[in-house]
A and B are shown apart, each in its own frame.
Chain A
Amino acid sequence: MKLEKLSASTILRNGTIIDPVAEKQFKADVLIEDGRIAGIGGQINHEDAKSIDCSGLIITHGFCDLHVHFREPGREDKETLATGSRAALAGGFTRVCVMPNTDPPIDTPEAVANIIDKARELPVHIHPIGAVTHQQQGRQLTEMGSMRDSGSVAFSDDGLPITNGSVMRMALEYGGMLNVPVINHAEDIDLRNDGLMNEGAVSTRLGLPGNPAAAEINMVHRDLELARTTSTRLHVPHVSTAGAARLIGDLKKQHDGISAEVTPHHLFFNDEDLLGFDTNLKVAPPIRSEADRQGLITAIRQGVFECIATDHAPHTTEEKEGTFDLAPFGMIGLESCFGAVNRILVNENDLPLMELIKMLTVNPRNIMGFDNDLLTVGEAAELVVVDTGAEYEFSRAHIQSKSVNSPYLGRQLTGKIHYTISKGNLAVVQ
């Protein structure tokens, strides 16, 4: 990937624009001047403009990911805001929300401001998600109001579920007052016990302690019920079970404050892929059964999930080379995202491309209240140029993250990012 400043004038020529707001698809050129959209139309002529041939390619909003871990501060050996930004650009993402489980966690207005400050000059938009409780310990609420004012767009204790229902209720009520979503890693930790993978026939075959689907379903049920009764905003992250997806679908009909995300890896893999003990597939919540995977795809068709989120979680090779019990949970996912979900959802399951694009663009932006008016003259250019038909084997060369813990290595993906345009920068991915 080559990252350069956008020329004063750039024309994206002969591409097909997908406008996920108007839900329209049309052929047009896009003129970008000084980092802003200066014109969209057929055959734009501009003598000094740098021309980028986009024949056969799709041009749409830059992708937006509500769930990434950039590890700064504390574990800069795994990822930094800068290296994470490059991984985002390589995946077509121009906007990401970073989780607060850093060291120390993002649990004060000052810590939020620090992220905002460090991200200012970086080539993608980075929005901090603040911790719900002090030190993510699940007891005392953080200064959520001040943190919101400093730039925190949502609140979550991330990998640590808020086990105390009363604390979760207070967090939802307080977040509701501030009109920000609260995100709870939905696992009943007692039921999860020491589970390392999905409980099922495969965990039995591998002798690995299982994490039952009920661990997620229980917690999601509690959170949905609390959000409904308090009329507040809940965003359910990385749903992995068909059971939780059904509950979310049902509760959404009763309360419109609920949104939910699904990761590419819960759509791409099933627990049989763990038969070789690949620690890169050790994630939380775990990769589930084929029935769950199919249930998630069905739920997407039914509109249960607004968005795809990667849960990009870099870990060092040293850590992932440990035995299955010691290797940390998580995989990177930004670079492989589009190729994975496009293959599974559009190619293999006939989801309209427009629907997938919405799940990567307008829908996540709507959840966080980000600007969606991106294909309008005068707006800062935040675009991605994609070849949706390209089939290729995902390899180390596609990874820009500081870490390489990807189970997609060696897998066939469909859909390649060619260019990502963000904050006056042009990332030439291909």
Chain B
Amino acid sequence: MMLKNRHLLGLEGYPRADIAKIIDTAFRFREVLDRPVKKVPALQGQTIVNLFFENSTRTRISFELAQKRLSADTVNFSASSSSLKKGESFKDTAKNIEAMKIDAVVMRHPTPGAPWHLTRFVDAVIINAGDGTHEHPTQAILDMMSLQERFKRLKGLKIGIVGDILHSRVALSNIYGLITMGAEVTLCGPANLIPLHVGELGVQVNHNIDEVIEWADALNILRIQRERMGIGLIPSIREYRRLFGITSERLDRHQKEIVIMHPGPMNRGVEIDSQIADGDQAIILDQVLNGVASRMAILYLLMGGQETKPE
């Protein structure tokens, strides 16, 4: 095995050397993506199921593309969590997959811990594509790859993560990954959307976005989910923009080089202005391309495609 762990479930406690190895491999696959023929036979004959219990467009497409670029056979299974609640149990779904002789499962599920749960029933390699409000390890790896591409290092970088931290799997995986790689992390957002005990993960909390902008090398702007409005978590979009929005006026005021990231999908005009999202400081589309390369690297390293090196 090329990585210490058989699965990629989360980045909590994930070895630093393996994160580095995934990112290095991802850069090599990035070169493949720039070739006229963007396909390698690394995972030929292997079968991967994309098991999505929750709607997802970009993560699913990114994984699917990565699988096709590696020549794996892929099957997509989408089930809304509500149908699962009504009928077939999680175990039965898992057992069915097991019976079909699948080599790997990429799973998105609304419940924290679901991929761990899946390992009890399925013998395949399992990759977490997001488990509720817990982890989204492949997103964090592509985020770190994008930072490394820009800064040529992760150690010592100052990263601000802005938004609803409490409900964000992107934030949690980024925290684990970045801290492991030696970066510093400051969280910024409404106090009621930052977990009370998050300081124990080794991060700072600062509710003043202007101070965070002054401090940070890069900002990872999280999507503010509109469904969180109206249940008292955010008083209004106007208020949120005033206190935490990455507006052009705000960045203009600071006159500072700062890299802007966003995991998507964006709410333009809410957490980020269009001018910023489309501007020179943003590496949001690099993140998307790096997402495919990162997922190729993860699949390749976990599924042991030894026959063909990516070079």
Taking Cβ atoms with an 8 Å cutoff, the residues of A that contact B are 199-201, 203-210, 276-277, 318, 321-326
Contact = CB atoms under 8 A, between A and B. Distances in A.
Contacts of B134: 206-208
A327 to B, nearest CB: 10
The 3 closest A-B pairs by CB, nearest first: A207-B134, A277-B113, A323-B111
A277 B197 contact: no
A277 B89 contact: no
Nearest to A205: B12
B108 interface: no
Interface size range of chain B in the complex: 20 to 34
B117 A323 contact: yes
Contacts of B132: 207, 325
Contact of A204 (B89, B131, B201): B201
Given A318-B89, A321-B89, A322-B89, A204 B111 contact: no
B112 A201 contact: no
B101 to A, nearest CB: 23
Nearest to B115: A277
Nearest to B168: A207
Nearest to A325: B111
A354 B195 CA distance: 43
B232 to A, nearest CB: 11
Interface of B: 12, 85, 89-91, 109-114, 116-117, 131-135, 169, 172, 195-198, 200-201
Contacts of B111: 323-326
A352 B110 CA distance: 47
Nearest to B173: A207
Contacts of B91: 318, 321-322
Contact of A201 (B109, B135, B197): B197
A277 B195 CA distance: 19
16 contacts: A199-B197, A201-B201, A203-B195, A204-B196, A204-B198, A206-B112, A207-B132, A208-B112, A208-B113, A208-B133, A210-B195, A276-B116, A277-B116, A323-B113, A324-B112, A325-B112
B133 A207 contact: yes
A318 B87 CA distance: 12
What is the predominant secondary structure among interface residues of chain A facing chain B?
Answer: loop
A200 B133 CA distance: 15
Nearest to A206: B112
A208 B111 CA distance: 8
Contacts of A324: 111-114, 117
Contacts of A326: 85, 90, 111
Contacts of A322: 89-91
B116 A204 contact: no
Contact of B113 (A200, A201, A206, A210): A206
A79 to B, nearest CB: 21
Nearest to A202: B197
B172 A207 contact: yes
Contacts of A200: 197
Nearest to B117: A323
Contacts of A209: 133
Interface centre among B91, B109, B111, B113 (most CB of A within 10 A): B113
Interface centre among B109, B131, B133, B195 (most CB of A within 10 A): B195
A325 B114 CA distance: 10
Given A277-B117, A324-B112, A324-B113, A207 B131 contact: yes
A207 B197 CA distance: 12
A205 B201 contact: yes
B112 A207 contact: yes
B177 to A, nearest CB: 14
B112 A204 contact: no
A326 B114 CA distance: 11
Given A207-B132, A207-B172, A322-B89, A199 B196 contact: yes
Contacts of B131: 207
Interface centre among A201, A206, A318 (most CB of B within 10 A): A206
Nearest to A289: B197
Interface centre among B91, B117, B135, B169 (most CB of A within 10 A): B117
A204 B90 contact: no
Contacts of B12: 205
Nearest to B85: A326
Nearest to B118: A323
A276 B111 CA distance: 14
Given A321-B91, A325-B111, A207 B135 contact: yes
A276 B172 CA distance: 17
A321 B200 contact: no
A277 B118 CA distance: 11
Given A318-B89, A321-B90, A321-B91, A204 B195 contact: yes
A323 B91 CA distance: 9
B85 to A, nearest CB: 7
A199 B196 CA distance: 9
B200 A204 contact: yes
Nearest to A200: B197
Nearest to B194: A204
Contacts of A276: 116
Contacts of B172: 204-205, 207
A251 B292 CA distance: 62
Contacts of B114: 323-324
B249 to A, nearest CB: 34
A209 B112 CA distance: 9
A277 B90 contact: no
Interface centre among A205, A208, A326 (most CB of B within 10 A): A205
Contacts of A277: 112-113, 116-117
B200 A201 contact: yes
Given A205-B172, A322-B90, A325-B111, 8 more contacts: A201-B200, A207-B112, A207-B133, A207-B169, A207-B172, A323-B111, A326-B90, A326-B111
B137 to A, nearest CB: 12
Contacts of A321: 89-91
A210 B116 CA distance: 19
Nearest to B111: A323
B119 to A, nearest CB: 10
